Structure 1
């Protein structure tokens, strides 16, 4: 069972349950965390609560593909994990050493360390949903999407569901100096999540998600890469535990778990591109690419 949000014909945001068969059932709750709260109040699991809510109710006549989807959850904060896959470590090493890989770098040390890399990625105001524009920084000439599985958690760190995240990144800015990481990761519309939250109870093994990233330019597919969460170096519980250490986390926070898909080193996103990130059982997150400041084209 997946949870989505969409805008109806009256321009009202609607929370809904989306079944495996693609049927959409509107829910009376205003948002995802209200759904969680009411399930807890009734001592029901989230899945059982949703199933009871749609029992005997007719689905809407529209298909999910025809709906104007919103972010499935308005996450107060989006955090991200870095260097959790070997491929990510290798890419970070390449961009920070101008193509000449050193024997041992701080990225190698993070990959092998007990403590993972976790950083603030986005806020609700900076995060966009399906089919919304993600933006390119005007002071970077090497920018890519980073497709990631996102964990939707509550303030206790319990994993409520899974979603798709795009951690837009400037490889040249981060490679120039690791202290520039916030600028390489955080700017206007540099993060997207969606199109749904897959309830955690319905997932037998979260380390078997298949991830695909496609990038289109002028209608042609110029990048297609695949990966799987089974390639992760760290566990989800491990990442969440470090996020919670002496830290206040809010209900509905999203933690991105790192990427194993890096486009070829010679590739950079351009204005007008379209990004598709697909994760098995969750759906496809699509976003067009635009300049954050059209008056200043990227170099």
Structure 2
């Protein structure tokens, strides 16, 4: 997989570390070159997103050429980054980092069927037939919170297979949680972190939406919502420990803003590819089809921001994934889990490729640059 792949076109915005500057720079891509478009009043991605015309600003802002974008992408890999050259960061800054879970009913119910059948294909077929009889249609067409969904819920409770995950999978309320704090996400080429207590974990390849403080969806990027399956599996109350650790959420390589050629409908039809390559020669390939999502992106955004909850600096929202890796690694029946130095690549043609190397969260660079540091640095540079 090409780890430096970018979409062929589109209005792209991101952030970069640039020698000679204390603070991250707002950047875009023009004709294969990375361009610094940092300016007074538009020095952060947050400020550009909250402006009246983000697309026009990114297209027309005066800029400084930083070099060939593919060279800078190559220099963004943590293990070989030259700090005397520009390198990419996560494409967001002051936005809240939120995520939604269990958003693909078809994969959720299939996992429940497999769990209940315990490897018995006949039992699996029987349970699937029963559920399909209740729904009367394809699993992917089941609308969470609908009357049909509630019938399925009642039938599953009667069979003793109900769980909290099924509640948010087909019930009326979406699962929305805080993935990390503003400024904590990592970008293309960075190391992503696993908490050392975990021995069963996986990547979660997702699309993430850029949303303004007014609730407008204005762009999208790729994300890896790194997940500790053993920690969350012990108790849903450990979701914070399973999801929010040093370097546990990556985004990038750039945000692509919605314009006349790229819309929310484009995202709804996207196929998200996943590749995991290990030093042991192991390779995992999979994909997640956004057309199978059970809760629309608009409904997930409405569940996150509104009169009930505000985000003055906007937010990024991971939309969830239908991909749950089960391919055995290290022995039959052991399933998938990461090994240190795995390379995870998530891609779709309209957004490019987000790649990261897997390490322990305790061995990834510590998160030390927060909102207060950014504000002080921008003030010193007269950019506020």
* Normalised-by-shorter TM-score class: 0.7 to 0.9
Q: Any conservation in 2 of the 1:153–1:254 contact (CA below 8 Å)? A: yes
- In 2, distance between residues paired with 1:261 and 1:279? 15
Any residues of structure 2 matched to 1:160-239 within 5 Å, and which? 160-201=218-259, 202-204=261-263, 205=265, 206-218=267-279, 220=281, 222-239=283-300
Q: Does 1:128 align with 2:147?
A: no
Structure-1 separation of matches of 2:194 and 2:240: 15
- Does the CA-based 8 Å contact 1:81-1:119 persist in structure 2? yes
Cα distance between partner residues in 2 of 1:170 and 1:91: 21
Instruction: Give CA deviations for 1:70-123 in whole Å, capped at 9, x if unaligned.
Output: 111114421110110135524874899896896443322322222111111111
C-alpha distance 88-146 of structure 1, shift in aligned 2 (>3 A): farther
Q: Deviations over 1:266-289 (max 9, x none)?
A: 010111111111132212111111
Structure 1 or 2: larger strand share? Answer: 1
Establish whether residue 17 from structure 1 lines up as the match of residue 28 from structure 2. yes
Q: Distance in 1 between matches of 2:174 and 2:231?
A: 21
What is the Cα deviation at residue 48 of structure 1? 2.3
8 Å Cα contact 1:71/1:130 also seen in 2: yes
1:158 and 2:171 matched: no
> Per-residue displacement from partner, 1:30-77 (whole Å, max 9, x unpaired)?
22122234x42xxxx3222322326xx785542334341111111442
Q: Distance in 2 between matches of 1:180 and 1:167?
A: 15
SS in 2 for 1:264: coil
Partner residue of 1:64? 70
Alpha-carbon distance in structure 2 between the residues aligned to 1:11 and 1:238: 40
Computing the radius of gyration from Cα coordinates, the structure with the larger value is 2
Does 2:317 align with 1:255? yes
Unaligned 5+ runs, structure 1: 295-299
Following the alignment from structure 1 to structure 2, what is the Cα–Cα distance between the partners of residues 272 and 91?
31
Q: CA RMSD in A?
A: 2.7
Alignment pair present for 1:107 and 2:160: no
Secondary structure of the residue that 1:184 maps to in structure 2?
A: helix
Residues 96 and 176, structure 1, Cα contact 8 Å, conserved in 2: no
Q: Which residue of 2 aligns with 1:268?
A: 337
Cα offset for 1:177?
A: 2.0
Native 8 Å contact 2:275 2:346 kept in 1: yes
- 1:83-102 equivalences in 2 (<5 Å): 83-86=102-105, 89-90=108-109, 93=112
Match of 1:8 among 15, 18, 32: 18
Q: TM-score, normalised by structure 1?
A: 0.85
Pair 1:274–1:212, CA change in 2 (3 A): same
Which secondary structure does the structure 2 equivalent of 1:127 belong to?
A: coil
Residues 110, 70 of structure 1: alpha-carbon distance in 2 compared, 3 angstrom cutoff:
same
CA drift of 1:153 comes to 1.0
Distance in 2 between residues matched to 1:103 and 1:3, nearest whole Å: 45
Deviation of 1:9 after TM superposition, in Å, equals 4.0
* Partners of 1:191 and 1:171 in 2: CA distance: 15
Assess, with a 3 A threshold, how the Cα gap between structure 1 residues 33 and 80 changes in structure 2: closer, same or farther.
Answer: same
